[in-house]
Chains A and B, each alone.
Chain A
Amino acid sequence: MARAVLLAVVLAALLLVPSLVSPYTLLTYTSALCLALMAQGWNLIGGYTGYAAFGNVAFVGIGAYTTGLLMLSRWHVPFVPALFAAALVSALLATVIGIPVLRLKGHYFAIATLGVAEAFREIASAWDDLTNGATGIDLPVRSDSRFFYYVALALVVGGIVITARLERSKLGYGWVAIREDQDAARMLGIDTTVFKVAAFALSAAFAACAGGIIAYQDIHVAPDDFFKIEYTLQMIIACIIGGTGTVWGPPVGAAVYQLLSTYVWSHFLELHPTVLGVLIILFVVFLPRGLMDLFRRMAAVARGGRFGSDVFLANVRASRLE
């Protein structure tokens, strides 16, 4: 009950944000929502399934280009259908790439996905006829920052609902089994290839939606602006801050990351990356299971239960190197 009230208040506040802040500040909120979307996607493959994908930015870029190119095409596809088409194209490409790449494990998978992202950046730079090369493409102008905010908010809310449903589905159970022990999952009769590819494709669709929104808002898509490793890192960091493999972790983590980043940027202009880096390290070391884990423990204490500091500290210790 308290939970439902809290959710309603948060949602109402988020709906009111555009009326309360300046259009410029609203851009920060929209970026946070786009980051949340990417993080939600990464959470499916990286959090639930346990595959450290380091190339999800590829799908942000593919989403941006597909959305833009469809809108610019002779059919002049409207934005929202173009965005969904972009999600579909990304998911299909992720399926094709995932079938071979998801056979790799651990570092090899991470490096392979990193390579995939670089390859797509090169393709976008070189395929002049389609992408206009390094110059990039210009989208129709729409200077309505509220529109982008609401689209992004709707998709993040949709993402939360989808993640929550998946978590209790056979698909979600299968992902967790794969993360915990792939061989055991196989012996339980789970076709791990199918499950992993599904997670990868869905995560690509989320990333593509974020890419499409950013593209239309920025009205320009060029390879170096979209296929950049910062996006990959940010989505992973957002997941870690919030809590990987949880429904609420990625959006909460994205909000906190954006908040920290904005604050640090305005107070430590010169040292911005260093200070942010230190904060991230502190998060990883002291909250390896993310903020959601901390909230859960605090809620347990509020209900008269234990914080479980022994387990909490065990987590902290386990996250440290020898």
Chain B
Amino acid sequence: MNGAGNGTPLLDARGITKRFGGLAAVASVDLTIREGEILGVIGPNGAGKTTFVNCITGLDKPTSGTIRFRGKDITRMPSHAIGRLGISRTFQVVRPLTHLTVRDNVAMGAMFGARGKERTVSQARDRAEEVLHRVGLEHRIDHAAADLTISELKRLELARALATDAALLFLDEVMAGLNSTEIVGAMELLRRINRGGVTLFVIEHVMKAIMGISDRVVVLHDGKKIAEGTPQEVVDRPEVAAAYLGERFARRAQVVGKPERVKVQGTLVKAAPPVVEEPLLEVRALSSGYGEVPVLWDVSLEIRKGEVVALVGANGAGKTTLLCTLSQLVKPRSGSISFAGRDLTRARPEEIVRAGIVQVPQGRRLFAGLTVKENLLQGVYLRRDRRQIEEDLESVFELLPRLEERANQLAGRLSGGEQQMCALGRGLMSRPRLLLIDELSLGLAPLVVDHLLDLISRINQRGTAVLLVEQDVQAALEHAHRGYVLETGRMVQSGPAAELLDDPRIRRAYLGM
């Protein structure tokens, strides 16, 4: 470990709560950042990490709690005033000033920046040069920011924050989208910045990186702080593994290698063996991403007819991006997608649906103002055959009787589990041959999840293939024939679900160590 700081609190946040409507995105979090340290912050999606930083930096006002910086209360300060006290940050999605040069981008930070250190435009441009040397971007100084690669853009964003002379930097996923060599470089850079006297608060999904550079790690989950300590202490905490992998898998992973194994609990409907060995979906060397940011590299995947395939991997690994690329909501950059012998690499989203691939999106995305029945019928608006539609509706209601009971109720009034059923039902109405399900259990109680997983098996038994993305690794693998593991945008492993269940590498893919 590097200079672990001298222990003096630099920033002290007490009882920070941020509510959006009824939901507490951050729930009374106490957190102290010590002068000179690198504090890592991890937590699954929706844990409240970015919201917490927004509260500290004044972009969101906390519902309650107090924040002190060097003893001074900054809770209600506007963000530009907080910035001028010597606190800066980067943003999860890089937004460089694309029309300006690299130098002007960084000069922007140096010009305004911390109080008492403002510079004139020309001084700021000199300072920019100096900072660009530090982050290793000096060779790009006169290029337009638009010409930079993603890894360079991340460094540019960092340079802009550094140029403000901030004493405390909040870095929100500066390593997302970088390849493993670049990550090593970024880790070294952060260490160097820290040794230069800047305290760092680092949010990162790349576990290897955060565990490698942090003096201390804080874990947020569902808006609460669930653990705090050295990287090793934190990883060994069972509740941390549970937050990432789901309770059951975490317990299982701890006993892997020992003679006695945790038995599969409950009486779950096991997936039927795949009907045919014939491939339905073949994905070869697929790469894609958003704008400048690559997310998937060289991903290959195969789903056979009548098969349930689980896709697991840590947050930010690219699971949702893969589903969206299959649906053509995100365009592939290279590689190929073929479905039932047809090349769909360049197809439009509506052609994908017609071909029989239907996505049940994360967070359900129901039409809250329409009734359950109207929502289900939204799934068939591409179809013209009225009689068939009636039959399909019958068959969805047969599978999901709860939906028939609530057919005329507004979808927005349903419980979380019922909404997920409705989303599944809507997907089924398009008569899919392959259902892509994103985060089935998101925000649902365990009992409801078990019920939904049984439903997936029953849908599968009717002949529909399923690609299942699921946070609860054990549950997903128990209900699948085969599984794939994504790690930072690459397929690192695949195999029969039962084998993957006992593979210690999955735990590593999630926790980095």
A163-190 interface bits toward B, Cβ cutoff 8 Å, 1 = contact, 0 = none: 0000011100110110011011111111
Q: Are A189 and B83 in contact (CB under 8 A)?
A: yes
Bound-state CA distance A180–B120 (Å) is 21
Bound-state CA distance A174–B114 (Å) is 15
Q: Is the interface of A mostly helix, strand, loop or mixed?
A: helix
Q: Are A189 and B164 in contact (CB under 8 A)?
A: yes
Bound-state CA distance A177–B124 (Å) is 15
B99-132 interface bits toward A, Cβ cutoff 8 Å, 1 = contact, 0 = none: 1100010011101111100001100000000000
Do A180 and B121 contact each other (CB < 8 Å), given the known contacts A186-B59, A189-B83? no
What is the CB-to-nearest-CB distance from A182 to chain B, in angstroms, rounded to a whole number? 10
Q: Are B79 and A176 in contact (CB under 8 A)?
A: no
Q: Are B100 and A186 in contact (CB under 8 A)?
A: no
Q: Which residues of A in the span 185-225 have a Cβ within 8 Å of any Cβ on B?
A: 185-192
B140 within 8 A of A: no
Bound-state CA distance A53–B393 (Å) is 49
A290 within 8 A of B: no
Q: Are A177 and B99 in contact (CB under 8 A)?
A: no
B100 to chain A: which residues have CB within 8 Å? Answer: 176
B153-175 interface bits toward A, Cβ cutoff 8 Å, 1 = contact, 0 = none: 00000001100100000000000
Q: Are A190 and B112 in contact (CB under 8 A)?
A: yes
Q: Are B57 and A187 in contact (CB under 8 A)?
A: yes
Q: Are A188 and B107 in contact (CB under 8 A)?
A: no
A185 to chain B: which residues have CB within 8 Å? Answer: 80
Complex partner residue of A170 from B58, B80, B121, B164, CB under 8 angstroms = B121
A1 within 8 A of B: no
B98 within 8 A of A: yes
A187 to chain B: which residues have CB within 8 Å? Answer: 57, 59, 79-80, 82-83, 88-89, 161
Do A177 and B108 contact each other (CB < 8 Å), given the known contacts A189-B83, A189-B164? yes
A190 to chain B: which residues have CB within 8 Å? Answer: 80, 83, 112
Q: Are A180 and B97 in contact (CB under 8 A)?
A: yes
Q: Are B112 and A188 in contact (CB under 8 A)?
A: yes
Q: Are B121 and A186 in contact (CB under 8 A)?
A: no
Q: Are A186 and B80 in contact (CB under 8 A)?
A: yes
A61 to chain B: which residues have CB within 8 Å? Answer: none
B143 within 8 A of A: no
B78 within 8 A of A: yes
Number of interface residues of B (CB under 8 A): 34
Q: Are A170 and B112 in contact (CB under 8 A)?
A: yes
What is the CB-to-nearest-CB distance from B507 to chain A, in angstroms, rounded to a whole number? 36
B4 within 8 A of A: no
Q: Are B164 and A168 in contact (CB under 8 A)?
A: no
Complex partner residue of A189 from B96, B107, B114, CB under 8 angstroms = B114
Q: Which residues of B in the span 46-88 have a Cβ within 8 Å of any Cβ on A?
A: 57-59, 78-84, 88
A143-169 interface bits toward B, Cβ cutoff 8 Å, 1 = contact, 0 = none: 000000000000000000000000011
B397 within 8 A of A: no
Complex partner residue of B111 from A170, A180, A181, A186, CB under 8 angstroms = A170
A55 within 8 A of B: no
Residue of A nearest to B161 (CB): A187
What is the CB-to-nearest-CB distance from A190 to chain B, in angstroms, rounded to a whole number? 5
Bound-state CA distance A274–B52 (Å) is 52
Q: Are B121 and A188 in contact (CB under 8 A)?
A: no
> Which among B81, B95, B99 has the highest number of chain A CB atoms within 10 Å?
B99
B91 within 8 A of A: yes
B141 within 8 A of A: no
B146 within 8 A of A: yes
Bound-state CA distance A170–B107 (Å) is 10
What is the CB-to-nearest-CB distance from A209 to chain B, in angstroms, rounded to a whole number? 27
Q: A188-B80, A189-B164 are in contact. List 17 more A-B contacts (CB 8 A).
A: A168-B121, A170-B121, A173-B107, A173-B121, A177-B97, A184-B91, A184-B95, A185-B80, A186-B59, A186-B80, A187-B59, A187-B83, A188-B83, A188-B160, A189-B113, A189-B115, A191-B81
- A-B contacts, 11 of them at CB < 8 A, read A170-B111, A170-B120, A173-B104, A176-B108, A180-B98, A183-B79, A186-B80, A187-B57, A189-B80, A189-B115, A189-B164
